[in-house]
Amino acid sequence: MSGTAHAELFAPPSESAGLKNLVGLSREALEAEITACGEPAFRARQLWQWIYSKGVTEFGAMTSLSKAFRARLEEHFVVRRPEVVQDLTSSDGTRKWLLRFSDGQEVETVYIPEDDRGTLCVSSQVGCTLTCKFCHTGTQRLVRNLSPAEIISQIMLARDALGEWPSTRLDRKITNVVMMGMGEPLYNYDNVATALKIAMDGEGVAISKRKITLSTSGVVPEMERCGRELGVNLAVSLHAVDDDTRDKIMPINKKYPLKQLLQTCRDYPGTSNARRITFEYVMLKGVNDSPEDARALIKLLKDIPAKVNLIPFNPWPGSFFECSSNNAIHRFAQILNDGQLSAPVRATRGEDILAACGQLKSESERKRKSERT
């Protein structure tokens, strides 16, 4: 399926009648709305700062705008946040929000505090069309793309909840954003790009492209464009070192096999030893965790500025796989380190709040169903 056909088939619902949401419009689109209201273009810039730098949602509080203009804004527009269905904090400080959009669809956003950073994990789709066998999101039936508003408002909502406005604060907790929540961001490229451009804008949300990482399962045709147009860090879900294994656990490999994927990584714009591509590798017992696999991985990545994130498999109800033993994970990491590949083992976070991607949403749906019966 072409990118355009995919975007049409899985499009978010068009805004329902009523007030138009200003969140998620590009700078140009916001300016067009404002000039259409008969206001000069510079007003759009002021409004942009109120919305994205100060985090204000009420037009009445935008005191640098004339009263007449504020009244006109109130007549036509709104600055909307998604509804928070659940807000859970884990004993380790990980926080997870289950958000519901106007058509009732739900996604998850997760905040992960660490010693030297705070990372917000943002979703790009409701569900995912790619059915990676170890991933819970891939089992969810309903899929649609998130709109730019639904993507950027995940960051804005987390900022509300953590008391992070204005963007100019020096003590911001959310320092990094990763497009690693539900969905495949490169199957929703246009909306993700609009949202990330808003996130990177220095007069708004102001998160530098160096602090944003987009994770893909390997949608080869969109990768180069992502590097060239957005310049964000790239993470690639590799998870296997040979096509046979990868075909089995990640069906997208049949379309874009390893050789093609790794060549696209070699060509990813802006990559250097100081700015490496992250290869994610979920540790699955007896599937991809042998010492031979580790040695093959070193060979595979030898001419790519790379680091490897070893992720302990996070089981979910009904999942077919088991996580590799601690020993196997550490032996694997040691072989990579000896081969000059940096390979931290990612800590499992937020286990007590259903941390595996997509789990909270399924749990919420299950509960709603059982309440109905």
Burial per residue of 33-49, b for 16 or more beta-carbon CB atoms within 10 angstroms, e otherwise: bbeeeebeeebbeebbb
> What CA–CA distance (Å, rounded) separates 70 from 49?
15
Q: How far is the CB of 359 from ligand SAH (least distance, A)?
A: 9
User: How many residues are given for the chain?
Assistant: 373
Task: Of 178, 203, 199, 179, give the one whose Cα is nearest residue 189.
Answer: 179
User: Interface with ligand SAH includes 140 (CB under 6 A)?
Assistant: no
- Helices H / strands E in the chain, number of each: 13, 13
Nearest to 265 by CA among 298, 227, 309, 311: 227
Q: Which of 31, 184, 201, 222 binds ligand SF4 (CB under 6 A)?
A: 184
Whether the CB-CB separation of 261 and 219 falls below 8 Å is answered with no
Which does residue 280 bind out of ligand SF4, ligand SAH, none, counting CB within 5 to 8 angstroms by kind?
A: ligand SAH
If one asks whether residue 356 binds ligand SAH (CB under 6 A), the answer comes out as yes
Size of the residue set binding ligand SAH (CB under 6 A): 17
Q: Across the strands, what pairs with 88?
A: 96
* 174-200 b/e (C-beta count within 10 Å ≥ 16 → b): bebbbbbbbbbbbbbbebbbbbbbbbb
Q: How far is the CB of 219 from ligand SF4 (least distance, A)?
A: 9
Is 130 a binding residue for ligand SF4 by CB under 6 A? The answer is yes
- x/- mask, ligand SAH, residues 16-55, rule CB under 6 A, reads ----------------------------------------
Q: How many CA atoms lie within 13 A of 288 on its CB side?
A: 28
Which is the catalytic residue, given 31, 39, 106, 108? 108
Which among 127-135, 203-211, 257-265, 339-347 is the span making contact with ligand SF4, rule CB under 6 A? Answer: 127-135
Q: Is 106 one of the annotated active-site residues of the chain?
A: no
- What φ, ψ does residue 129 adopt, rounded to 5°? -80, -15
Q: How far is the CB of 137 from ligand SF4 (least distance, A)?
A: 4
357 flagged as catalytic: yes
Residue 311 CB, nearest distance to ligand SAH (Å)? 5
Which CB atom, from 133 or from 173, has the smaller least distance to ligand SAH?
Answer: 133
The answer to whether residue 233 forms part of the interface with ligand SF4 (CB under 6 A) is no
- Minimum CB separation from ligand SF4 for residue 177, in Å? 17
**Cα 236 from Cα 261, distance rounded (Å):** 9
Stretches 7-15, 16-24, 199-207, 210-218: which one binds ligand SAH (CB under 6 A)? Answer: 210-218
E strands present in 47-157: 77-78, 83-89, 95-100, 106-113, 118-121, 125-126, 144-145
Q: Nearest distance from residue 64's CB to ligand SAH, in Å? A: 39
**Chain residues that interact with ligand SF4, rule: CB under 6 A:** 128, 130-132, 135, 137-138, 183-184, 217, 237
Active site residues: 108, 357
Residues making contact with ligand SAH (CB under 6 A): 132, 134-136, 180, 184, 215-217, 237, 280, 282, 311, 313-314, 356-357
